[in-house]
Amino acid sequence: MQQTTFDSYNKILVVIPAYNEEKDIGSVIANIRQVLPIANVLVINDGSKDNTATNAKVSGATVVSHFQNMGYGIALQTGYKYAQMNGYEYILQIDADGQHTPNFLKDILSKLISSNIDIVIGSRFLHRESYKPPVIRRIGIVIFSFLASMMIRQKITDPTSGFRGYKRSVLNFLVSDYFPVDYPDADVIVMCHRYGHKIKEIPVIMNANTNNKSMHSGIKPLYYIFKITFSLFLTLLRKF
């Protein structure tokens, strides 16, 4: 099989939602540029109170800033809207805190380009060297994995992974009011499948969160599990 090259693709956007990530954002952008030098990098500065925006600009990224913190899902959707408005064909997303290994962006992009797959999800559970999340969150992931897999009749091992890639055809859903901005992970998979988009997981390495910032701390994991489970069942009843 001929190896996929990216020299002729100038419509690739890497979206990075970021909130108070001045420590890691520069190195994340530098690593992305090393892996995919032809890609454009967009940082959604979600109301950060530190130097996230400045450091991102110095590192060569385009920065769009929210005046206040709007949340992870809205930050992502801002990136999707930017991609749609500017005609990007391939949209990759990666976290700003260094948990996602940028080297795998090339694998995600390669799968999008070389196949009829519309959505590629990086799964930490398909790579033996990847960091595995704490027990409570893993329980939630197992529940969502079972529900999402059952709903779309396809095995999904890491439905909460934010390490993803999309073709332009998916943007119509991602920028719509149906997009679940609270926790845009398992819901997105089920909804996109209902829209007729094809989904594929690939193995990636994820690292431990060393900055102690997580939306899944304290009692939040329990609320998260309840909220997503309830939302997934509502998705089955929703008409698009």
pLDDT digits (tens, 9 = 90+) for 97-127: 999 999 999 999 999 999 999 999 999 999 9
6 falls within a domain: no
Highest mean pLDDT among 1-5, 153-157, 180-184 belongs to 153-157
| pLDDT (0 to 100) of residue 124 | 96
185 falls within a domain: yes
What does the alpha-carbon distance between residue 223 and residue 84 come to, in Å, rounded to a whole number?
32
92 falls within a domain: yes
Find how far residue 83's CA is from the centre of its chain: 14
CB 127 within 8 Å of CB 55? no
4 falls within a domain: no
pLDDT surpassing 90 at residue 132: no
106 falls within a domain: yes
What does the alpha-carbon distance between residue 92 and residue 204 come to, in Å, rounded to a whole number?
14
| pLDDT (0 to 100) of residue 139 | 85
DSSP states of the chain:
-PPP--TT---EEEEEEESS-TTTHHHHHHHHHHH-TTSEEEEEEES-SSSHHHHHHHTT-EEEEESS---HHHHHHHHHHHHHHTT-SEEEE--SSS-B-GGGHHHHHHHHHHSS-SEEEEEGGG-TTSPPPPHHHHHHHHHHHHHHHHHHTS--S-TT---EEEEGGGHHHHTSTTS-SSS-SHHHHHHHHHTT--EEEEE--B----S---TTSTTHHHHHHHHHHHHHHHHHH---
Q: How far is CA 38 from CA 4, 91, 171, 223, in A?
A: 14, 13, 21, 40
* C-alpha triplet 86, 89, 93: angle, nearest 5°: 90
pLDDT surpassing 50 at residue 16: yes
Q: Residues of the chain with pLDDT > 90: what percent? A: 70
State the average pLDDT for the chain.
88
177 falls within a domain: yes
CA atoms within 13 A on the CB side of 206: 24
Q: How confident is the model at residue 131 (pLDDT cuts 50, 70, 90)?
A: confident
**Domain residue limits at 172:** 12-237
Q: How confident is the model at residue 214 (pLDDT cuts 50, 70, 90)?
A: very low
What would the two tokens of residue 186 be? 């398992």
pLDDT surpassing 60 at residue 8: no
7 falls within a domain: no
36 falls within a domain: yes
Q: How many independent structural domains does the chain possess?
A: 1
pLDDT in tens, 159-206: 999 999 999 999 999 999 989 888 788 889 999 999 999 999 999 999
Return the CATH number at 194. 3.90.550.10
